[in-house]
Chain A
């Protein structure tokens, strides 16, 4: 995990919270994605500018899970968001 990595939402991506989930729209492709409640919280923290370690710490606090499990899961989600162009790295 790149501990200094921060992520931001590109201009062509919109996200809206609906209930405890989040729906993301990629305006360039007209494609929509859904995040479940856990993914929605991670998305919120990421887009608020928290670093990945800070996001992981927040998940540990809120969902009562072990750090090693959280780190793998958060990284997997981040990798998928990056690969789909729904977030971009904004700092190294």
Chain B
């Protein structure tokens, strides 16, 4: 017998990528250079470069100032549900829009009680499967590879979930018919001919619109399973195989319920980590989700030639899951 306490993921801080959702409007104010922050930030996100990318400050009881360093400030008033964007003079309108759609909006949705995760989703044999991961984990590349093989994508990053009235089933809501890929993935998966639209200033990802060759699903789909990319292998795989052998294999392993809750939380959007009532609600949401939807760690060789094998393994896995009664 052994009782065990494990600490998971020291903080709730999450690194943000981009994603898009249908959205209410926001007001764009006259551009200005960013003044000193009126209040000390209570939280910040750091880019892969190590520089501060986004700071969170409170403006009042129900108001926040989100500052994207060098690009734009967003003032969010939850009392009136109004958002003001104040770009710097150098920031393009498409960048402001992208920051709002992909980062500010999901944070707002999460704060207002919706389930929003850093993940992509595709439709396989009539059900959605989701891939969660931090920036660079491969979720957009994996979703794109599935779409190119005829399995439509629902979202390439922002994963918005809706719970059934009975509370036991979840659906993935479609976000936007584009995927965003780093250059190596774009060239390898799509070649030179793919049409890239509306670049943004803060990274070099190409934005590709869906097509008959890369279909998009615009209807909510029942969520069958969640696969999490980039978890530490040692934590989820007790195999005695060498690390080199492990790197060559595709491994799918069911997470324990507690591991699943931790992984979901670690891939969620959280606006105010100090708002205890909101944190408590997030906690209940993710506990319920982990109790209803099976969650797995997914490891596979990180090269493009492995992707067809990953697709086959996940399709087989989906068939097995479908046989299990809910």
**Residues of A60-83 whose CB lies within 8 A of B:** 63, 65, 69-70, 73-74, 76-77, 80-81
- Are A34 and B10 in touch, CB under 8 angstroms? no
**Residues of B237-289 whose CB lies within 8 A of A:** 256-262, 265, 273-274, 276, 279-280, 283-284, 287
Known A-B contacts A31-B11, A32-B9; A23 and B258 likewise in contact (beta carbons under 8 Å) = yes
- Are A35 and B261 in touch, CB under 8 angstroms? no
- Are A31 and B10 in touch, CB under 8 angstroms? yes
- Are B257 and A38 in touch, CB under 8 angstroms? no
- Are B262 and A70 in touch, CB under 8 angstroms? no
A48 at the interface (CB under 8 A from B): no
A-side contacts of B273, CB under 8 Å: 30
- Are B3 and A25 in touch, CB under 8 angstroms? no
Known A-B contacts A18-B287, A22-B258; A34 and B6 likewise in contact (beta carbons under 8 Å) = yes
CA distance A27 to B3 in the complex (A): 23
**Residues of B8-29 whose CB lies within 8 A of A:** 8-12
CA distance A38 to B4 in the complex (A): 8
- Are B262 and A81 in touch, CB under 8 angstroms? no
Q: Max chain A CB contacts within 10 Å: which of B10, B287, B291? A: B287
B-side contacts of A21, CB under 8 Å: 256-258
Q: Which of A16, A18, A32, A39 contacts B3 (CB 8 A)?
A: A39
- Are B1 and A65 in touch, CB under 8 angstroms? yes
**Residues of A23-61 whose CB lies within 8 A of B:** 23, 25, 27, 29-36, 38-39, 42, 59
- Are A27 and B279 in touch, CB under 8 angstroms? yes
B-side contacts of A42, CB under 8 Å: 3
- Are A16 and B283 in touch, CB under 8 angstroms? yes
- Are B291 and A19 in touch, CB under 8 angstroms? yes
Which residue of chain B has its CB nearest to the CB of A66? B1
Interface size class of B (residues with CB under 8 A): 20 to 34
- Are B257 and A18 in touch, CB under 8 angstroms? yes
Interface size class of A (residues with CB under 8 A): 20 to 34
Shortest A40–chain B CB gap in Å is 8
B7 at the interface (CB under 8 A from A): yes
- Are B11 and A69 in touch, CB under 8 angstroms? no
- Are B5 and A80 in touch, CB under 8 angstroms? yes
CA distance A25 to B286 in the complex (A): 12
Known A-B contacts A14-B280, A21-B257, A77-B3; A34 and B8 likewise in contact (beta carbons under 8 Å) = yes
Which residue of chain B has its CB nearest to the CB of A11? B276
- Are A30 and B1 in touch, CB under 8 angstroms? no
Shortest A78–chain B CB gap in Å is 10
Known A-B contacts A32-B9, A32-B261, A33-B8; A38 and B2 likewise in contact (beta carbons under 8 Å) = yes
CA distance A30 to B86 in the complex (A): 30
Q: Which of B2, B274, B279, B290 contacts A73 (CB 8 A)?
A: B2
- Are B287 and A16 in touch, CB under 8 angstroms? yes
- Are A74 and B284 in touch, CB under 8 angstroms? no
Known A-B contacts A21-B258, A27-B276, A30-B12; A35 and B5 likewise in contact (beta carbons under 8 Å) = yes
Q: Which of B4, B5, B283 contacts A25 (CB 8 A)?
A: B283
CA distance A27 to B279 in the complex (A): 7
A-side contacts of B11, CB under 8 Å: 29-31
CA distance A81 to B265 in the complex (A): 21
Known A-B contacts A12-B276, A21-B256; A74 and B283 likewise in contact (beta carbons under 8 Å) = no
> Could you list 11 further interchain pairs (A-B, Cβ under 8 angstroms) beyond the known A27-B280, A30-B12, A73-B2?
A21-B258, A23-B258, A30-B11, A33-B6, A34-B5, A34-B6, A34-B259, A35-B5, A35-B258, A77-B3, A81-B5
List 11 interface pairs A-B (beta carbons < 8 Å), by A numbering. A14-B280, A16-B287, A18-B290, A19-B256, A21-B257, A23-B287, A25-B283, A30-B11, A32-B262, A34-B259, A34-B262
